[in-house]
Amino acid sequence: MKQSRFVSDYVIPLWEPPAIAVAGGASYPVRNIYCVGRNYAEHAREMGTDPEREPPFFFMKSASCAVSSGSRIQYPSRTNNLHHEVELVCAVGASGSDISVADAPEHIFGYAVGVDLTRRDLQQNMKEKGRPWEIGKCFTQAAPVGEIQPSWNIGHPREGKISLSVNGTVRQEGNVKDMIWSVDEVIAELSTYYKLEVGDLIFTGTPAGVGPLTPGDDVDCSVAGMEALQFTVS
């Protein structure tokens, strides 16, 4: 019998899964990152669209985009217009499909503040050509996420100030209660397209004020009741 040249069941070494710190000292391994687009009316308007309450739409980032608070974010390649979008992030704690709005909180492990970094020029170029614009959203370090607060500690916040500052100047400020689609509604709708799994992160949309970042910028983000998120662009 010919002996296998491989020393394990895998032909390459397994990598450590991306993980985000959890309050209390543990880590949350990241499986998928889902994002909902234009979920605040004022942001929809600044992006040139009508904020009518049409069904939400979704896009994804690779799990490898996730980085923790305190990171130095390398300014990404092939862009001259890197934008910040601060968001409330949900961490899934129980799997499920076709989840009802009423049952959505039972599927949430916890919450954090995150930033959907966007190569806006690449995104806009793809939109104009009628092509998928994943290239503008999914790249290395494109999803900084702060420490996750378990729901048993903070409950299920459905209102509270959300803000982002660059070099001490407030750029974005809003309230999570102003979402067009609530957290529970987002989870219910998303779960009709995908089976949500433990390890999934859901970015729930950004308020108005998105704008550019440049190397050297210090970014501070917060959602009421949660640990702040900080990172530096280098």
Asked if the model's pLDDT at residue 127 lies above 70, the reply is: yes
Q: Does some domain include residue 5?
A: no
Q: How far apart are CA 128 and CA 82, in angstroms?
A: 18
Show the domain range for 62: 19-233
Report the candidate in 49, 28, 51, 31 with the shortest Cα–Cα distance to residue 39: 51
8 A C-beta contact, residue 20 and residue 147: yes
Does 104 map to a domain?
Answer: yes
* 72 vs 44, higher pLDDT: 72
Residue 2 within any structural domain of the chain:
no
Q: How confident is the model at residue 41 (pLDDT cuts 50, 70, 90)?
A: confident
Residue 215 located in a structural domain = yes
CA angle 218, 222, 224 (to 5 degrees): 165
Indicate if the pLDDT at residue 81 is higher than 70: yes
pLDDT at 232 > cutoff 70: yes
| Residue 149, C-beta contacts closer than 8 angstroms, at least 6 positions apart | 23, 110, 111, 112, 225, 226, 227
What mean pLDDT do residues 102-125 have?
A: 98
In a domain, 4, yes or no: no
CATH number at residue 176: 3.90.850.10
Q: If you average pLDDT over residues 184-213, what whole number do you get?
A: 97
Tell me what pLDDT residue 1 has: 54
Query: For the chain, how many structural domains are there in total?
Result: 1
Considering the entire predicted model, what is its pTM?
0.94
Buried b (16+ CB within 10 A) or exposed e, 103-128: ebbebbbbbbbbbbbbbbbbbeebee
Give the pLDDT of residue 138: 98
With respect to residue 64, please indicate whether it lies within any of the assigned structural domains.
yes
- CB-based contact 73:208 (threshold 8 Å): no
Give the separation between CA 229 and CA 154, rounded to whole angstroms.
17
Average pLDDT over the chain, rounded to an integer? 94
Q: Is residue 13 part of a domain?
A: no
Q: Is 8 within the bounds of a domain?
A: no
The answer to whether 204 and 112 are in contact (CB under 8 A) is no
Read off the pLDDT band of 18 (50, 70, 90).
Answer: very high
Percentage of the residues of the chain whose pLDDT score is greater than 90:
86
The whole-number pLDDT of residue 24 equals: 92
What's the average model confidence in pLDDT over 68-78?
98
Query: Which pLDDT score, from 0 to 100, does residue 48 have?
Result: 61
- The 10 Å Cβ neighbour count of residue 216 is 10
